[in-house]
Amino acid sequence: MSSILIQNGRVIDPSQGIDRVTNLLLRDGKIAGYDVPPNGQDRIINASGKIVSPGLIDMHVHLREPGREEDETIATGTAAALAGGFTSIACMPNTDPPLDTQASVEFIQQQAARADNCNVYVVACVSKNREGKELAELGQLVHAGAVGFSDDGAPVYDPELMRRAFEYCLMFDKPILNHAEVRELTRGGVMHEGLASLQLGLPGMPGAAEDVMVSRDILLAEATGGRIHVMHVSSGGSVEIIRRAKSREVRVTTEICPHHFTLTDESLRSFDSNFKMSPPLRSLRDVEKCLAGLADGTIDVICTDHAPHAPEKKMRELDQAPFGILGLETCLGLVITELIEPGVLDWPTALAKMTINPAEVLGIPKGTLAVGADADVTIIDPAARWTVDPHRFHSKSVNTPFTGWQLHGRADTVIVGGRVKYEVAK
């Protein structure tokens, strides 16, 4: 029997509506009780002045293994997750080979168990080999442990395949997570299509490319009763489309990444490939609409789309460099600095989008500090001040546009299943 008493922290658990200073007892890997006095526990953690949250969940992570271990491995990616405050992550299936078989899902689970860092859930392929031609064996993948389906990195392009995926997933109540992009509209694109792309002479990717696909997916979900989760929303048009769909009670949820609520397409004037991502950084007007979507609840989840690329890949010319940036180790600091401190979101609302909301989308028993739940806890120091230095990251790659940024707040202690897995260096 082992126990940890987290003492005098501000416990914020949106799943239970708790926001108060108290003591939280963890025993044998489970949440054991509140308001418990010190009584010979194995360990006491003084959380005075800190936030005690359910373990953070990132439902959109690229771990690259198998196939691209030069960018990231399951061991390094999960270590980066812990350093960012995440106790659970969901990994995307665009590995090499793609995660479209029972054996591939089991491989991820085995490697994650071997790394013994955070919990890893698998989002498996919608289509075999991510080719968009034939449905993967969805039933077998669910049996292996897949929590959702996506061909991320690419959209599920064929509407008939998407319709059948929705219908098939009704048997398991699993969501389809789609990368919303009409590729005829973005072909050759490097950045958002707007004034900046025009002046820079770079091919653009219009917001309409996202809006059209979001509209299609919502209509198909509405027709079938399926669950659509719109990945990394970036355009103001998409936010409005999703808002209207929710008012019709369509089963739609969505997520946003920190780079899409902190940066704009003006950043590409630096010609730095660390600002190149898909969907691209949008206009200031899009960012403002995304912030409004976060505030009014249209956007359910904050995730990272953690996309590591080895330095030699990102150092190519802008049109040749791959899309994507790191996210696991900067997400929490950006949420605190850019959303909570300016008053866009309060602490309970922000933490809901990083705990119970992604847990509910994926249907996993996480994101809560209810008595009897797994003892996954993130202790946050909101007063910490730190400078982003990717060379101190736990990730294998360093591709971030936030180098040198001064951020407020970070994970202080991360507990997974009742075991302390990460503590910030004092």
**Tokens describing residue 374:** 């797994």
11 DSSP 8-state letter: E
Q: Which residues of 80-89 are buried (b: 16+ CB within 10 A; e: fewer)?
A: bbbbbbbbbb
**What's the rounded Cα separation, in Å, for the pair 289 and 235?**
8
255 bridge partner residues: 301
Let me know if 58 is a catalytic residue: no
Sign of CA dihedral 251, 205, 388, 407: negative
Kindly compute the dihedral angle of the four CA atoms of residues 60, 64, 66, 70, in this order, to the nearest 10 degrees: -170
DSSP 391: G
Helix (H, G, I), strand (E, B) or coil at 277: coil
Q: At what angle do helices 236-247 and 284-296 cross, to 10 degrees?
A: 30
Contact 267, 192 (CB under 8 A): no
| One-letter-per-residue 3-state SS of 219-248 | HHHHHHCCCEEECCCCCHHHHHHHHHHHHC
Q: Which of 382, 256, 356, 327 is nearest to 77 (CA)?
A: 327
CA distance 154 to 13: 35
By DSSP bridging, strand 406-416 and strand 56-61 are unpaired
Q: Active-site residue among 71, 305, 376, 381? A: 305
- 133 burial (CB, 10 Å; 0-12 / 13-18 / 19+) is exposed
d(CA 342, CA 127): 42
Q: Which residue has the tokens 């079938």?
A: 224
Tell me if 380 sits within 8 A of 50, measured CB to CB. Answer: yes
Residue 112 Cα to chain centre, angstroms? 17
Residue 413 Ramachandran class (φ > 0 left, ψ -120 to 50 alpha, else beta): beta
Residue positions annotated with a catalytic role: 305
